[in-house]
Amino acid sequence: MKKNIINTLVFFFLICIVFSFCKKDKPDEPVSAETGHIKFKFLHYVNGQPLQKDSMMYENEAGNHYEVNQLKYFISDVTLFKSDGTKKIIDDSKGINYVDIDIPSTLTWDVYDSIPVGSYDSIAFTFGINAEKNKSYMFVNPPESNMAWPDILGGGYHYMMFNGKWIDTISQIENFNFHLGIGQLYKSNATSCVDSIYAFVQNYFTVSLANSSFTLSHNEIKEIEIIMNIDSWFKTPHIYDHNYWGGSIMQIQPAMQMIKENGYDVFTVGNIK
């Protein structure tokens, strides 16, 4: 009996030693990486000055006198490129952000994601929503749901609704809907005949912002101004003429292709602070 008791005590002693070593060998809990936050402030300019809505005070490169009544759009997949070659893709709200000049709260985007500290070389984003994400009915509430693009024309959502007025060749004031979204290719020139659609065109594009480098410190909130230069939609590399394209272009892919190609230099960076 005494021998059994001694063996039992020795066994438990050895177990304690094993557990003690296991505990010592357990690695320390990883230390959380230092992070900060960013916010984007969206500004809208014409000819280098803040936009003034509902005023027939502007003239584009084609000589069209025009005014801006509504402007709303999506940007998505904002990517921050670090100087060490890594990158951070913002995933806040699935990476899609809505901007509307008539809704002040949308003009500032407080990004929820924590951003690793360090030096960043540049910022890029998708203007619109890519084909994988741009699905009909994913927004159930306004204002985003009001951006729906007709299913019969490709579905999903407008990348941009830019509405205004211009003075035509006979001095009449006409409405224009300068809209960008999924385009269509037709079997004939009858673009109003949706039965002749044989393919769809993705018109979203990537914007790479020049002079967008910044450094983020721990717990810092960095504010970055993103400026849409509205006049640039009409002039580089193509001169866009409302008199030629008319008031509504949702079913005119050549016009949307021109807008897409003009869009690469529409955005610039303002203050970073």
Question: Looking at the 3D structure of the chain, how many domains does it have?
Answer: 1
Within a domain: 102? yes
Neighbours of 189 (CB within 10 A): 7
Within a domain: 131? yes
Neighbours of 83 (CB within 10 A): 12
> Percent of the chain, pLDDT > 90?
81
- In this structure, of 6-20, 87-101, 125-139, the range with the lowest mean pLDDT score is 6-20
Within a domain: 220? yes
Please report which confidence band the pLDDT of residue 191 belongs to, taking 50, 70 and 90 as the band edges.
Answer: low
Within a domain: 103? yes
Q: Closest Cα to residue 213, out of 90, 82, 28?
A: 82
Within a domain: 165? yes
Within a domain: 5? no
Q: Is the pLDDT of residue 162 over 70?
A: yes
SS3 per residue for the chain: CHHHHHHHHHHHHHHHHHHHHHHHHCCCCCCCCCEEEEEEEEEEEECCEECCCCCCCEECCCCCEEEEEEEEEEEEEEEEEECCCCEEECCHHHHEEEEECCCHHHHEEECCCCEECEEEEEEEEEECCCCCCCCCCCCCCCCHHHHECCHHHCCCECCEEEEEEEECCCCCEEEEEEEECCEEEECCCCCCCHHHEEEEECCCEEEEECCCCEEECCCCEEEEEEEEEHHHHHCCCCCCCHHHHCCECCCCHHHHHHHHHHHHHCEEEEEEC
Please report which confidence band the pLDDT of residue 84 belongs to, taking 50, 70 and 90 as the band edges.
Answer: confident
Range of the domain at 169: 35-272
Evaluate if pTM is beyond 0.75.
Answer: yes
Please report which confidence band the pLDDT of residue 171 belongs to, taking 50, 70 and 90 as the band edges.
Answer: very high
Within a domain: 12? no
Q: Is the pLDDT of residue 9 over 50?
A: no
What pLDDT shows up at residue 195?
84
Within a domain: 6? no
Q: Is the pLDDT of residue 238 over 50?
A: yes
